[in-house]
């Protein structure tokens, strides 16, 4: 038996770092959505665990125990007591270190597919957070979610207006640890995202909401005085803002991928074509915002 599924890109439409726990983990609040585009995983029965990686972003992806997909497989084995194996094929279409949850989404889909393949119970998000803060939210249905705590406290977001996304990455990675260190020099501002996502927002109100909440990491990446200043982010955000039909734009997660929100597929795809033509070195991808 062979099972396959898409591991969709995870996009943080807002992100506030709200504090730091005694154990060193940062707490956050974020409105997370998923794009109708991502990596693909295929699993089939095998006598051991074997990972193969292909696709446009396969270069540099480890195929040993460092890979989050194999870490997820080993975690599922330990938690369920199974000794079954699998041959796993990962097709990487999302850029590395981009803040759109490529590895986390891959791990979440691996957990789901392998549980079906091995006929074992699925593990809980609270258990899966050991793999990374973004894994629990990626284990949910690909619908808008409010993410809190260190990533393990989840709730469904109110229905958002139908939108399309344009994802843009300068092909530069941003190390998560360095990002948190840079942000740590600023006092975190508490917020309450879950209570302030209004019901029944139209596109104009949604754009205002996005502008109000923003992303704490965008502040350090676009600040020339910051140790992690990345001028490409400012360039991408301005290029997105200049596109016809772009409602709002910002950074996703702590990575280098930026997003623009558009009301229609036509506007998003037209903007993506223009951006790709003018900036050959950027990765540009239009995708529907899943709801």
- Of 5, 10, 50, 106, the catalytic one is 10
Q: Could you tell me which of 190, 192, 201, 212 has the C-alpha nearest to residue 158?
A: 201
Structure tokens at 283: 């990765």
CA distance 16 to 216: 6
What average pLDDT does the chain have?
A: 92
For residue 185, pLDDT beyond 70:
no
Angstrom CA distances, 107 to 23, 31, 77, 277, stand at 24, 20, 14, 33
Q: Which residue has the higher pLDDT, 18 or 207?
A: 207
SS3 55: coil
Does the annotation count 71 as an active-site position? no
Please determine, for residue 24, whether its predicted confidence score (pLDDT) is greater than 90.
no
pLDDT value at residue 195: 40
Task: Determine whether 134 is an active site residue.
Answer: yes
Q: Which of 32, 208, 56, 217 is closest to 136 using CA atoms?
A: 32
68-104 per-position pLDDT tens digit: 999 999 999 999 999 999 999 999 999 988 899 999 9
Residue 196 has what pLDDT?
65
One of 39, 71, 92, 134 is an active-site residue; which one? Answer: 134
pLDDT tens per residue across span 188-229: 455 444 446 777 889 999 999 999 889 999 988 998 988 888
What's the CA gap between 25 and 43, in Å, rounded?
33
Q: Cα-atom radius of gyration of the chain, to the nearest Å? A: 19
Summarize pLDDT for 220-263 with one digit per residue, the tens: 899 898 888 899 999 999 999 999 999 999 999 988 999 999 99
Using alpha carbons, select from 53, 155, 164, 49 the residue that is nearest to residue 102.
53
Phi, psi torsion values for 83, nearest 5 degrees: -115, 10
Say how many C-beta atoms besides its own lie within 10 A of residue 270's C-beta: 17
């Amino acid at each position: 038996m062979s099972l396959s599924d898409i591991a969709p890109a995870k996009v943080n439409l807002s992100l506030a770092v709200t504090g730091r726990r005694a154990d060193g983990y940062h707490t956050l609040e974020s409105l997370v959505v998923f794009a109708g585009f991502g990596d693909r995983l295929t699993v089939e029965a095998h006598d051991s665990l074997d990972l193969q990686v292909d696709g446009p972003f396969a270069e540099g992806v480890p195929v040993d125990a460092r890979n989050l997909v194999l870490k997820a497989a080993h975690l599922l084995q330990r938690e369920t007591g199974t000794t079954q194996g699998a041959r796993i094929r990962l097709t990487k279409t999302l850029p590395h270190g981009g803040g759109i949850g490529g590895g986390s989404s891959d791990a979440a889909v691996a957990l789901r597919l392998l549980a079906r393949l091995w006929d074992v119970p699925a593990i809980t998000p609270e258990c899966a957070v050991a793999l990374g803060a973004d894994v629990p939210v990626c284990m949910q249905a690909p619908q808008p979610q409010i993410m809190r705590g260190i990533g393990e406290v989840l709730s469904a977001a109110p229905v958002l207006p139908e939108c399309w996304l344009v994802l843009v990455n300068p092909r530069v990675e941003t190390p998560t640890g360095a990002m948190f260190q840079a942000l740590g020099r600023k006092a975190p501002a508490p917020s309450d995202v879950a209570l302030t996502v209004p019901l029944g927002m139209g596109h104009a109100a949604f754009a205002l909401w996005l502008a109000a909440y923003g992303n704490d990491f965008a502040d350090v990446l676009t600040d020339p005085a910051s140790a992690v200043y990345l001028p490409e982010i400012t360039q991408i955000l301005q290029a997105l803002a200049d596109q016809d039909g772009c409602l709002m734009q910002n950074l996703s997660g702590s990575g280098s991928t930026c997003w623009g929100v558009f009301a229609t597929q036509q506007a998003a795809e037209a903007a993506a074509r223009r951006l790709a033509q003018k900036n050959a070195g950027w990765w540009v991808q239009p995708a529907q915002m899943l709801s």
